[in-house]
A and B are shown apart, each in its own frame.
Chain A
Amino acid sequence: MNQALREALQRDERIFLMGEDVGAYGGCYAVSKGLMAEFGEDRIRDTPLSESGFTGFGIGAAAGGLRPIVELMTVNFSLLALDQIMNTAATIRHMSGGQFGVPLVIRMATGAGKQLAAQHSHSLEGWYAHIPGLRILAPATLEDARGMLWTALQEPDPVLIFENVMLYNRSGPLDTGAGAVDIDRAAIRRPGRDLTLLTYGGSLFKTLEAAEALSTEGIEAEVIDLRVLRPLDEATIMASVGRTRRAVVVDEGWRAGSLSAEIAARIGEQVFWRMDAPVGRVCTAEVPIPYPRHLEDAAIPQVPRILEAARATLGKG
């Protein structure tokens, strides 16, 4: 992310980063470390603790010709900016009959796993995926974390990027030529013939691990990384599920009224007659995220529950 931000700032002088502790502190997750010294205080802009205010300033600056990247420390804090995101950023193009757009990128951390309890750990990207006018991204791989930002900055409309906190810890080899990636399509991360596991963000690596375990049982699971939560890449989803005839959605959001519910419904609407089993779901338990490790782990999707759900769709539960 740090390199992606640096490159963006170098390539387009309209781009600037704003948010709490992005400058002098270097970013809550060290994502913007060193950038203020390199680009100055006007382009790495520390903000007061005013999520609604500075998000709105980002919206206005975008409408006024700049290309802001607004960082909201975590998705829970983004609720303080929800008025600006929903009532202005997502609606001004429509209310104005297409006259004004908001080319704004908002980044935030999401998800559980760091024992940060019930006000810092939720996965609310599914809520945002409910809102027309927004594009919702959830990078899970290093390539996507690196490459989605630049593409998002070219969009004429607001893009929200949800970065799972557990992915900040992952490191690995990245091609030195890695660059911008598309922000339209889901990706098949593992091909398979027996069922489709649909997931995104922090659950991708758990799902891939589950797929490898299933393989030892002779079950070949296809793993789809949704990448873009709105608009959903229905073509990739339906092609895969129509072929494997079985699907399990793994979503760190709560089950009720969730993105997983939306995906299951669309599968029912579009490929029901090709399905051999009901769509399975692995979601977060209906509880605010607890502090102790064992309860936090039990609340969110884990490999054993993914395995159970996968076997159940195959009648092997």
Chain B
Amino acid sequence: MSAAKIHLTRETVRAHLHAMMRIRMFEDRCAELYTQEKIRGFLHLYDGEEAIAAGIIPQLTATDRIVATYREHGHALVRGVPMRSVMAEMFGKATGCSGGRGGSMHLFDAARNVYGGNAIVGGGLPLAGGLGLADRVQGSGAVTACFFGEGAVAEGEFHETMNLAQLWRVPVLFVCENNGYAMGTALTRSEAQTDIHTRAAGYGIPSEVVDGMDVVAVEAGTRRALAAIREDPHPYFLECRTYRFRAHSMFDAQLYRDKAEVEAWRQKGPILRFRNWALSAGLLHEADIAAIETEIEAEIADAVAFAESSEWEPVADLLHHVTAEARPAPPPPAEPTGATATARP
């Protein structure tokens, strides 16, 4: 593995593998539940990209913020949103982390500063920039990590955000999860400049590429980025090159790529590689991995049981959460003074 500067103990290796396997096994179960029609709507799996969330999010502090996309189950889980409430949200139950209103694409958690789950490609970037602006103005010291795919780079909102972020020096870590395909359109078929990180560099933003299939490389890049941002608030761009092993969503027949290409990437998969390396380095043993699996299986079984047994939100509550429950009282009418001055709107 790369980035020897990071000191890998048995505990940290186990934690990385656990985080990635937890996402993978959770989503494998979600795919099954989708075929059983327990989970409906769209379901976008992170299969193959787990090293990014697992490498970045544990480096954030509790006051840092996260803005993610519709492919965000992994981000929510690594951030510590309880698996029970994530699974309940997938089911649409009232106990879900968004009260059931969002589903797979809109996982939110105010207590953990998770600002969704944005399903408009590029739409989360200005939001993240604004959160960063608030942190800069208020001197909070917090950093916003904003995740998006390489498809977002074609959107105007990407470019508007890059320009504003650097102009106003907002403390945002922009993480491009470049899996090579915007749904079914390969990067080379949609972008004139396929070296994504140069786009951000064009706006003067410090920018680098890391191997998004290598959790240690992602962690190392993140540490560099966060240290720079915390020293002097500014945006930072991390392009993580990765691959999506499964279809874009459950409706995707994958006509746009070869099975051989997928298989070749699978051999470079973040979990497979990291597990084999940890075993060969003697940091983990087969028994440790079996124990991790057993632990995660039990957590998933508990989460599914929780989601199954949770209540649906009553239809009587349909109109909740459109506007705030409590509004300030209207101001008292001003007492006329009798005196007037000429005014213009």
Interface residues of A (CB under 8 A from B): 1-3, 16, 42, 47-48, 50, 52-66, 83-84, 87-88, 92-101, 132-133, 135, 139, 142, 145-147, 150-151, 154-157, 163, 167-168, 170-184
A101-B324 CB under 8 A given contacts A146-B343, A172-B342, A175-B337: yes
B345 close to chain A: CB less than 8 A: yes
Specify which of A59, A62, A88, A93 is in contact with B321 (CB 8 Å cutoff): A93
Interface residues of B in 100-127 (CB under 8 A from A): 100-102, 106, 108-110, 115-118, 120, 123, 125-127
Contacts of A154 in B (CB 8 A): 328
Cβ A175 vs Cβ B330 within 8 A: no
Q: Mark B76-111, 1 if CB is under 8 A from A, else 0.
A: 000000000000000000001111111000101110
A121 to B271, CA, bound (A): 57
Interface size class of B (residues with CB under 8 A): 35 or more
Cβ A60 vs Cβ B133 within 8 A: yes
Cβ A173 vs Cβ B98 within 8 A: no
B5 close to chain A: CB less than 8 A: no
Distance in Å: Cβ of B107 to nearest Cβ of chain A: 9
Given A53-B129, A54-B126, A163-B345, 8 more A-B residue pairs with CB atoms under 8 Å apart are: A61-B133, A63-B127, A64-B138, A95-B101, A100-B108, A154-B328, A175-B338, A176-B337
Cβ B164 vs Cβ A176 within 8 A: no
Cβ B344 vs Cβ A156 within 8 A: no
| 21 chain-A/chain-B pairs, Cβ below 8 angstroms | A1-B344, A53-B126, A54-B164, A56-B129, A59-B127, A60-B130, A61-B130, A66-B133, A83-B123, A84-B126, A87-B123, A96-B101, A146-B345, A156-B328, A170-B344, A170-B345, A173-B343, A175-B337, A177-B335, A177-B339, A182-B330
Complex: chain A residue closest to B342, CB-CB: A171
B155-163, B188-196, B244-252, B281-289 - interface stretch: B155-163
Contacts of A54 in B (CB 8 A): 126, 160, 164
B316 close to chain A: CB less than 8 A: no
Contacts of A184 in B (CB 8 A): 330
Contacts of A50 in B (CB 8 A): 160, 163-164
Cβ B345 vs Cβ A133 within 8 A: no
A98 to B126, CA, bound (A): 21
Q: Mark B322-343, 1 if CB is under 8 A from A, else 0.
A: 1111111011011111111111
Most B CB within 10 A of own CB, among A57, A132, A135: A57
A157 to B327, CA, bound (A): 9
Cβ A145 vs Cβ B324 within 8 A: no
B253 close to chain A: CB less than 8 A: no
B132 close to chain A: CB less than 8 A: yes
Cβ B133 vs Cβ A180 within 8 A: no
Contacts of A56 in B (CB 8 A): 123, 125-127, 129-130, 157, 160-161
Contacts of B326 in A (CB 8 A): 156
Contacts of A64 in B (CB 8 A): 65, 130-135, 138
A173 to B340, CA, bound (A): 5
A145 to B345, CA, bound (A): 6
Specify which of A94, A98, A155 is in contact with B327 (CB 8 Å cutoff): A155
Contacts of A48 in B (CB 8 A): 160, 163-164, 167
Cβ B138 vs Cβ A66 within 8 A: yes
Distance in Å: Cβ of B306 to nearest Cβ of chain A: 17
Cβ A156 vs Cβ B123 within 8 A: no
Cβ B164 vs Cβ A167 within 8 A: no
Specify which of B97, B98, B161, B340 is in contact with A53 (CB 8 Å cutoff): B161
Contacts of A146 in B (CB 8 A): 343, 345
Specify which of B116, B131, B135, B334 is in contact with A95 (CB 8 Å cutoff): B116
Distance in Å: Cβ of B321 to nearest Cβ of chain A: 4
Complex: chain A residue closest to B146, CB-CB: A60
B255 close to chain A: CB less than 8 A: no
Cβ A97 vs Cβ B156 within 8 A: no
Cβ B127 vs Cβ A65 within 8 A: no
Contacts of B331 in A (CB 8 A): 150-151, 179-182
A146 to B344, CA, bound (A): 9
Distance in Å: Cβ of A201 to nearest Cβ of chain B: 11
Distance in Å: Cβ of A261 to nearest Cβ of chain B: 22
A54 to B157, CA, bound (A): 10
Cβ B127 vs Cβ A60 within 8 A: yes
